[in-house]
Amino acid sequence: MRPLRQLRHETNPLIFVTLTVITAISLIPFLWVIANAFKDNTEIFGSASLLPEEWHLRNFGAAWMDGQFGVYFLNTVIVAVATTVISVAIAAPAGYAFAKTQLRHASALFYLYLFGITLPIESIIVPLFYQIKDMGLVNNLWGLILALVGTGVPFGVYLMRSFFRDLPDALAEAARIDGATEWGIFFRIMMPLATPGLLALAVFSFLSAWNEFFLSILLLLNNDTRTIPIGLVQFRQQNMSDYGALFAAITLAIIPSLLIYIVLQRQFISGLAAGATKG
């Protein structure tokens, strides 16, 4: 998403002002939360200024001790990384099979996957919960990971198929003539060429797993298995009146996302845009 367009004209000041206002609307809630995290409760109630008059760190200590944010963070990393790795590992070969091999009845099977993209997971949440319960995976990070991989399959395969379909056949043909096996062509030639697509799917899977809320509230009931979103909501229920600690907890929940976003923001934006428009 590099240069939009080379426009050689003065920017209308009204445009600039409107943009600044909208950007402020995006930004102010975060600044307010973070500033309040450094205030004590009397100042949160009484003071009119955005910045704290005195900077307190007590709230962060309270949030860290009460909330086990270290555990939540670790759980979230496990869920996000495992979901991403497994999703890409199973969706890439399947997308390749649909795009570049001659499988009989492939189109019927592909329609079955397409159906899964439109099916809202909300409609199967009840039996899905009992199924994972029957597998003994409630309160186990793997229950969530497997469910996220499974429900993510249709979109992942669809996305990978569109990326593989755009790759030229010539290289594979040349390798076939040189005596490469079908597996060699897939692993050594097609997979490396599909790297941008793999990255787009990885970004998408990572972010959805990191932020997952709908299944997690059902599956992660115990404090040791909670992820950041569930942990934060739980923390609020238990600390309704300690406002400072809650603001610190929100800040702790935002920090990892913010850091990842700063490092990978280009990949995030282009990966999610590709996911949305190809999907």
265 binds another protein (CB under 8 A): yes
Using the contact rule CB under 8 A, the part of the chain among 53-61, 63-71, 145-153, 165-173 near another protein is 145-153
Among 115, 173, 195, 263, binds another protein (CB under 8 A): 115
| Minimal distance, residue 123 CB to another protein, in Å | 4
Number of residues that bind another protein (CB under 8 A): 102
Task: Tell me how crowded residue 50 is: count the other CB atoms within 10 A of its CB.
Answer: 10
Q: Tell me, residue by residue from 185 to 214, as one string, x for binding to another protein by CB under 8 A and - for no binding.
A: -x--------------------x--xxxxx
Q: Are 244 and 36 in contact (CB under 8 A)?
A: yes
Residues 162-181 that bind another protein (CB under 8 A): none
In whole angstroms, the minimum distance from the beta carbon of 253 to another protein comes to: 5
**C-alpha Rg value of the chain to the nearest Å:** 24
Q: Is residue 19 near another protein by the rule CB under 8 A?
A: yes
51-to-31, 35, 40, 131, 276 alpha-carbon distances in Å: 9, 6, 12, 50, 38
The alpha-helical segments, DSSP class H, found in the chain are 13-37, 41-46, 58-67, 69-100, 106-118, 125-134, 141-165, 170-177, 182-184, 191-193, 195-211, 216-219, 228-238, 243-278
Q: Which stretch binds another protein (CB under 8 A): 28-36, 54-62, 66-74, 193-201?
A: 28-36
Give, in order, the Cα–Cα distances in Å from 20 to each of 14, 15, 26, 27, 245. Answer: 10, 9, 10, 10, 31
Among positions 104, 168, 177, 178, the unique one binding another protein when judged by CB under 8 A: 104
Residue 127 touching another protein (CB under 8 A): yes
User: Could you tell me the smallest distance in angstroms from the CB atom of residue 170 to another protein?
Assistant: 19
Compare residues 64 and 268 and give the one whose CB is closer to another protein: 268
Q: Nearest to residue 106, comparing CAs of 120, 116, 96?
A: 96
27, 51, 57, 171: which one contacts another protein (CB under 8 A)? 27
Please list every residue from 53 through 82 that binds another protein, using CB under 8 A.
none
Tell me if 221 contacts another protein by CB under 8 A.
no
Take residue 67 and report the two structure tokens written for it. 């909330």
- Does residue 34 belong to the site contacting another protein (CB under 8 A)? no
